[in-house]
């Protein structure tokens, strides 16, 4: 996620102490929300807005449905704007995209970076805290973006942008804005995202007989703007829409469908399902192209 460039080939996972240290600091910082004087309703509003902007628009819409799966088309400058929102979630784009493509190619099997003996601990957090043998394959899975200088720049500077955002929030609202808008918000975005790999591969129900253990998990979907409908996603990975029925809340799809009148090629439900016929192999093909 946030580690330095990983060029050393490994035979087995090893603890990634820089990432562990940064995550420990972020979680400890979130505890400051319990201190007297840290609470304010505007600060909570900032945290909720930034959770949506960075976790929903940046990670879910940008990193996942656009950049990883190319499930819809959009002007390049909008792609870079979505990329920037994801960078503000303090997650490296190249590593994120590569590991998610590996996940689809080897879901719940050997070669899936999110899965190690099926343990909840590993699927939720363990894979984040380790350097993995598959790290050496990140360039191979991101051939469509890895030479883009904008991606390279943002991939190297995620902490810088987080510090800049913290400075802006401090100027606007003092320490309560920093505690809630940076630390509490980042902890919430991280764990909500990780629940897609842990809870939505373990609990709730399945609508499609996919080869993996993915599930549709309503509470993860609410926390992740639609991503918890993960069994639908594994069944139809190239669909920009994951809530395939009207009552399945997929807030990110609402964002995709919204600008249809502005000329972007967005699928309606019928064409989305048609596009869904492409399977997980197509996902890895994006990286191998």
Under 8 Å between Cβ of 131 and 3: yes
Closest CB to Zn ion among residues 1, 46: 1
Of 126-134, 138-146, 209-217, 260-268, which segment contacts Zn ion by CB under 5 A? 209-217
Of 41-49, 119-127, 212-220, 262-270, which segment contacts Zn ion by CB under 5 A? 212-220
| Nearest distance in Å: CB 100, Zn ion | 5
Closest CB to Zn ion among residues 60, 214: 214
Of 125, 103, 66, the closest CA to residue 230 belongs to: 103
Of 150-158, 187-195, 207-215, 244-252, which segment contacts Zn ion by CB under 5 A? 207-215
Contact pattern from residue 97 through residue 136 relative to Zn ion, giving x for each residue in contact according to CB under 5 A and a dash for the rest: ----------------------------------------
Joined tokens for residue 103: 């996940």
d(CA 88, CA 163): 10
d(CA 113, CA 35): 37
| Nearest distance in Å: CB 277, Zn ion | 16
d(CA 85, CA 225): 15
Interactions with Zn ion, residue window 5-64 (CB under 5 A):
none
**What's the CA dihedral at 196, 87, 24, 119 to 10 degrees?**
20
With 0-12 / 13-18 / 19 or more C-beta atoms within 10 angstroms meaning exposed / middle / buried, residue 189 is: buried
Joined tokens for residue 250: 């997929």
| Nearest distance in Å: CB 42, Zn ion | 35
Task: For Cα atoms 116, 193, 286, give the angle at the middle one, nearest 5 degrees.
Answer: 75
Q: What's phi and psi for 130, nearest 5 deg? A: -125, 150
| Nearest distance in Å: CB 164, Zn ion | 29
d(CA 51, CA 77): 22
Contact pattern from residue 81 through residue 100 relative to Zn ion, giving x for each residue in contact according to CB under 5 A and a dash for the rest: --------------------
Closest CB to Zn ion among residues 27, 213: 213
Residue nearest Zn ion, Cβ-based: 214
| Nearest distance in Å: CB 159, Zn ion | 26
| Nearest distance in Å: CB 211, Zn ion | 11
| Nearest distance in Å: CB 90, Zn ion | 20
Closest CB to Zn ion among residues 31, 109: 109
| Nearest distance in Å: CB 204, Zn ion | 13
Closest CB to Zn ion among residues 43, 221: 221
Of 91-99, 184-192, 208-216, 247-255, which segment contacts Zn ion by CB under 5 A? 208-216
Beta-bridge mates of residue 15: 130
Range list of H helices, the chain: 17-31, 41-50, 76-87, 93-105, 120-121, 138-141, 149-156, 158-178, 185-197, 218-223, 230-235, 251-257, 269-275, 280-288
How many residues lie near Zn ion (CB under 5 A)?
1
Contacting residues toward Zn ion, per CB under 5 A: 214
């Amino acid at each position: 996620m946030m580690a330095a460039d990983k060029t050393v080939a490994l035979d087995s996972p090893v603890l990634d102490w820089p990432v562990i240290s940064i995550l420990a600091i972020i979680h400890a910082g979130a505890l400051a929300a319990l201190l007297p004087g840290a609470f304010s309703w505007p600060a909570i509003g900032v945290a909720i807005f930034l959770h949506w902007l960075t976790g929903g628009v940046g990670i879910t819409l940008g990193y996942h449905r656009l950049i990883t799966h190319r499930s819809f088309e959009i002007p390049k400058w909008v792609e870079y704007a979505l990329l920037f929102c994801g960078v503000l979630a303090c997650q490296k784009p190249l590593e994120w995209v590569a590991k998610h493509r590996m996940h689809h190619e080897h879901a719940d099997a050997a070669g899936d970076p999110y899965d190690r003996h099926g343990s909840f601990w590993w699927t939720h957090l363990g894979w984040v805290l380790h350097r993995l043998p598959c790290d050496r394959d990140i360039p191979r899975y991101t051939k469509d973006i890895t030479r883009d200088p904008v991606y390279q720049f943002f991939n190297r500077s995620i902490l810088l942008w987080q510090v800049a955002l913290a400075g802006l929030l401090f100027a606007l609202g003092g320490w309560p804005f920093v505690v809630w808008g940076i630390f509490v918000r980042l902890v919430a975005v991280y764990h909500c995202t990780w629940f897609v790999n842990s809870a939505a591969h373990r609990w709730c129900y399945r609508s499609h007989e996919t080869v993996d253990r993915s599930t549709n998990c309503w509470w993860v979907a609410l926390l992740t703007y639609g991503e918890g409908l993960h069994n639908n996603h594994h069944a139809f990975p190239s669909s920009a829409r994951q809530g395939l029925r009207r009552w399945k809340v997929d807030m990110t799809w609402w964002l995709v469908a919204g600008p249809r009148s502005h000329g972007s090629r967005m699928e309606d439900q019928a064409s989305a399902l048609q596009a869904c016929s492409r399977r997980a192999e197509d996902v890895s093909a994006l990286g191998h192209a």
